[in-house]
Amino acid sequence: MSSDKPPSRNWFDKITQIFQDTPQDREQLVEVLKTAEENTLINPELLSMMVGVMHISELQARDIMIPRPEMVVIDDEMAYSEILQSVVNSRHSRFPVIGDNRDDIEGIILAKDLLRFVAERDADPDCKFTLKDYLRPAVIIPESKRLDTLLKEFRANRNHMAIVVDEYGGVAGLVTIEDVLEQIVGEIEDEYDIDDDDDNIHQIADNSFNVKARTEIEEFNDYFKSSLSNDEYDTIGGILMQAFGHMPARGESAIISDLKFEVVSADTRRIKLLRVKKVKKLVE
């Protein structure tokens, strides 16, 4: 008779639960998956993606959209050279085209479609650029659109961007297929990213602060004893987008009042993190 000891009851119970118990709700299913990861049946990356897939069914477009003030748009009266410069500065591939204001969405233009005009102009130097000839229809969705449904529609219709509107029909923001997929696979973080659990404002030196771009202006003013206006924008990122006039890259800076803002982290769609320092006011 073998003298080997029986396996640990705790270990045996976990394996039994993984393969025999039927989870009764999502929370139990997540616990089963976590147990499977702890027992090396799946790796942490796969666990994260599986949880992410379940998570998007709980999220709506409003939860992840690029807010209206941070949208990079093309005005229908812009010349071709201006549009091209905006494309180069922002490094986006798709842009909402607006008329009188940001609620007047005329369509979407793709950066690659602008290259088509270059080819046409090479063939006929006298041809004129007409923005409306290159517009694609804009997909309009409500703020309450569930992300799992939106992802299915993106795939089925081969769209990559949707304009999000509020209950009154006004433009609230935009969402891209990349934004949805990031909820599953996660963002690629760098050394400048701050964990979500950290405060929005974090002092790193005597006169140097890391500030999340989504920090509300009221919170920012309370912390820095400043008086930045929140009439047009709700967040610091919105104010900085207005100050730059384009989607800034890492390292770009701007001075507002007696504060210097430097972009520490940003992607092709939004500012993420700012470095803020107090500067002396210039004597007139």
pLDDT tens for residues 41-51? 777 777 777 77
Overall CATH class of domain 201-278:
alpha beta
pLDDT tens for residues 157-196? 999 999 999 988 999 999 999 888 888 776 544 444 455 5
| pLDDT at 231 > cutoff 50 | yes
Tokens 């210039």, residue? 282
Is 177 within 8 Å of 151 (Cβ atoms)? yes
Question: What are the CB-based long-range contacts (under 8 Å, 24+) for 215-224?
Answer: 224/259, 224/276, 224/278
Q: What is the mean pLDDT of residues 102-122?
A: 88
Question: What are the CB-based long-range contacts (under 8 Å, 24+) for 146-155?
Answer: 146/56, 146/57, 146/59, 146/60, 147/56, 147/57, 147/59, 147/60, 147/61, 147/63, 147/64, 147/180, 147/183, 148/56, 148/57, 150/61, 150/175, 150/180, 151/56, 151/177, 151/180, 151/181, 154/180
Quick one: 198 exposed, middle or buried, by C-beta within 10 A (0-12, 13-18, 19+)? exposed
Q: How confident is the model at residue 1 (pLDDT cuts 50, 70, 90)?
A: very low
Of the candidate CATH numbers 3.90.1280.10, 3.10.270.10, 3.30.460.80, 3.10.580.10, the domain formed by 62-185 belongs to 3.10.580.10
